[in-house]
Structure 1
Amino acid sequence: MNAAKAVRAVMYWDGAGWAWMAFMPLVWIVLLGLVVWAVIHLVRGPSGAGSGGGSREAERRESPREILDRRFASGEIDAEAYSEAKKRLAEH
């Protein structure tokens, strides 16, 4: 092997250098994406409540009966509509 070929082999890994040059930007993009994901995950918290800091209990969905009770208690529906809806819920 002559000197020129030896230098080329050391500098360019026998022509495989282009593969690393194409691969390294992808590595940096993935690394940057992981850092951004980690920061967002840490800021939101494990419950995904955002900066409001709500508890899992507050995020729980209301049952149909709880919605009905809440609407009756707030005055959205009258006693007649409440008892009719309660009967229908009991049937299902």
Structure 2
Amino acid sequence: MHTLLAHAADGSWPGPWILLVPLFWLSAVLLVVLVVRRVLWRRGGCGYGWGYGRGADSPLAALGRRYADGEIDADEYRARRAVLTERHDLRGGAK
């Protein structure tokens, strides 16, 4: 009686390492999914609510659009843009 890990007498069974083939394909599919996900993340998604892609405007773009439409004046635009673009250090203070 042959078990899954035993070799046939004529050597036709490829051996126990054949069990690694599903692991290879699983890791290959996982790698492709992770690469595609990372590319979509860096590009801002594909419009399905991931980040600020085509489906949603960035805060700066929305502010610029409000200024272009005349909803806010130049002083308010500059003040809000300064708040959005200021850099923070790790302690939370402005740099």
Q: Which of the pair has more CA radius of gyration?
A: 1
Higher share of residues assigned helix: 1
The normalised TM-score by structure 2 is 0.38
Determine which structure has greater relative contact order: mean sequence separation of CA pairs < 8 Å that are 6+ residues apart, divided by chain length. Answer: 1
